[in-house]
Amino acid sequence: MRKRIVAGNWKMNKTLKEGIELAREIELQVEKQEDKSAGVIIGLPFIHLSEVSKIVNHKLISIAAQNCSSEPRGAFTGEVSAEMIKSTGIEYVIIGHSERRSYFNEDNETLNKKVKLALENSLKPIFCIGEQLEERKQEKQFEAVNKQLREGLFDLDDEEFSKIIIAYEPVWAIGTGETATPQQAQEMHKYIRKLVTETYNQEIADNTTILYGGSCKPTNAKELFSNPDVDGGLIGGASLKADDFFEIINSF
């Protein structure tokens, strides 16, 4: 059955020294935890990957990059390739975060190339999808998510798709303090799982981890995670404090 996961996304926060300290603090807390069945991932800025990868126990905490290039290598100044990320010893990469989609104009075609390069380099993608506020107001949220999945992921074969984690993050809830209600989250996660069943099969859908993201915090995580199709969270702001992040990890 699918794995439950809590993944932090530090975004563009923390110096290297602060990042090492936070990773150590989180690891200390996870180490003491009795039930270690949920996976813990921290999504770090590129500059932290290599150093943090050397100091954490990968059995307790996995590491994700927050992006990778859509090109394999070459004259792309400032870019970081999937192969380079893999060489730091980490396991995951966040692809298609709404901030990448909106501030850096990343479309589904580009994101599909990133996913394929990540998989070719044995990185597991955490693929983010989610509707804009306008789309929700017009009741077009299912259409929006359907398009992102079809164009971003659904040409993968069964084996490739089984390495994907999906993160449903309604854009209107990211960093805004506004959270989807548990009912809204469950409704969308159920819809996503149904699409995966139709595109692949029931077994693959049952094994796909679908995370919720968008102002998830210690006070609402329990209620969100208690839904049958919500398998954990992608956490932004609340992943920057070890205590808050740990409380969320303990919310299953």
Binding site for ligand PEP (CB under 6 A): 9, 97, 169, 174-175, 213-216, 234-238
Q: Give me the count of residues in the chain.
A: 252
Residues ≥6 apart with Cβ < 8 Å to 109? 151
Q: Which of 225, 164, 231 is nearest to 199 (CA)?
A: 164
- The distance of closest approach from Cβ of residue 194 to ligand PEP in the complex, given in angstroms and rounded to an integer, is 23
Q: Catalytic one among 27, 48, 97, 189? A: 97
On whether the CB atoms of residues 5 and 211 are closer than 8 A, the answer is yes
Catalytic residue at 97? yes
C-beta closer to ligand PEP: residue 115 or 235: 235
CB neighbour burial string for 152-171, b if at least 16 within 10 angstroms, e if fewer? bbbebeeeebeebbbbbbbb
The span from the CA of 12 to the CA of 21, in Å, is: 16
State which amino acid sits at residue 173.
A
On whether the CB atoms of residues 251 and 244 are closer than 8 A, the answer is no
C-beta closer to ligand PEP: residue 86 or 217: 217
- The distance of closest approach from Cβ of residue 235 to ligand PEP in the complex, given in angstroms and rounded to an integer, is 5
Catalytic residue at 189? no
Beta-strand runs (E) in the chain: 5-9, 39-44, 62-65, 92-95, 124-129, 165-168, 210-213, 232-235
Task: Return the residue nearest ligand PEP (CB atom).
Answer: 236
C-beta closer to ligand PEP: residue 128 or 200: 128
CB neighbour burial string for 217-245, b if at least 16 within 10 angstroms, e if fewer? bbebbeebbebebbbbbbbbbbbbebebb
- The distance of closest approach from Cβ of residue 231 to ligand PEP in the complex, given in angstroms and rounded to an integer, is 15
- The distance of closest approach from Cβ of residue 10 to ligand PEP in the complex, given in angstroms and rounded to an integer, is 9
- The distance of closest approach from Cβ of residue 87 to ligand PEP in the complex, given in angstroms and rounded to an integer, is 25
C-beta closer to ligand PEP: residue 200 or 245: 245
The span from the CA of 98 to the CA of 106, in Å, is: 9
Q: Catalytic one among 27, 99, 135, 169? A: 169
**What number of CA atoms fall less than 13 Å from residue 209's CA on the CB side?**
22
Catalytic residues: 97, 169
